[in-house]
Amino acid sequence: MRDAERLRYLVLAAQREGNRMLTEQLRSLGVTPSQAEGLRVLADRGPLSLRQVGELLVCETGSPSRLLATLVDAGLVERRPDPHDHRAVLLQLTDRGAALADQVRDVERNLYDDIDNNLRGLPLDGTLTLLTALVHNRPAGRPRLPAPLHLTDTASRPTPGSTSGRAARLPRGMCASYRGQTRMTYPARVQVVFRP
C-alpha cells in the first residue's frame, strides 16, 4: 500500500472515529454533528446569509439549506430581513438556539479534552502541518474564524508574503487572515503562512 493511500485511509478512519465520539456526546442534546456545527457557525459568526453559512460549514457538504431549514423548524434559528438588502435574508440563533449552541460548545470542549488526553506526549506539529497542507485551498480547508477577529495593538503587521512580524495572540490552532494570507498557529509556536 502506498503511503498516500495509507494516509488517506487513516484520515478517514480518524474522522469517522471522531464523528462517532461527537455523535455519541451530542445525542443527549438531540442534535447531529452537522446541526451542531450549524449552530456553532451562527453562534460564532451570525447573523449570516445562507451562502455565508454554507461557505463556513465543514460537516455539511450537501445542502446547507436543508440543514438550516431543520434548525428553523426546530425553533433554534430564525430568518430575518437583511437591513442592508431587503431582498436578502439573514439567519440568526433564537434564544433557545444560543443556549443549545453553548451546550454544544461544552460537548466539543469535552471531546477535545478527551482527544488531548489520548494524544498527550505525542508530537503533533508535523501531523497538523501535513493535514493543513492536504486541505489548503480546498473547500474543507477554509478557516472558520470567530467574529470579530482583531490583531492586537502591539502586533506588528506583516506585509503580504512576509513571515516576519508577530501575529495576534490567538488560541492554539486558531486561524487568522490578513491581506489575503491565511495564518494558522500551531502548538509549540510553529507558524505556517499560505499565499493565495
pLDDT tens per residue, range 33-71: 999 999 999 999 989 999 889 888 877 666 788 999 999
The DSSP call for residue 153 is T
- State the CATH class of domain 3-119: mainly alpha
Q: Which residue has the higher pLDDT, 91 or 167?
A: 91
The residues spanned by each domain of the chain are: 3-119, 125-194
pLDDT digits (tens, 9 = 90+) for 117-144: 989 999 888 888 888 888 887 766 665 4
Q: For the purposes of burial, counting CB atoms within 10 Å of the CB of 75, is it exposed (0-12), middle (13-18) or buried (19 or more)?
A: exposed
pLDDT, averaged across the chain: 76
Which cell goes with 132? 493543513
User: So what's the pLDDT on residue 132?
Assistant: 85
Q: Give the angle 6-174-133 at the CA atoms, nearest 5°.
A: 30
**pTM exceeds 0.75, yes or no:** no
Residues 44 and 35: their CA atoms lie apart, in Å, by 14
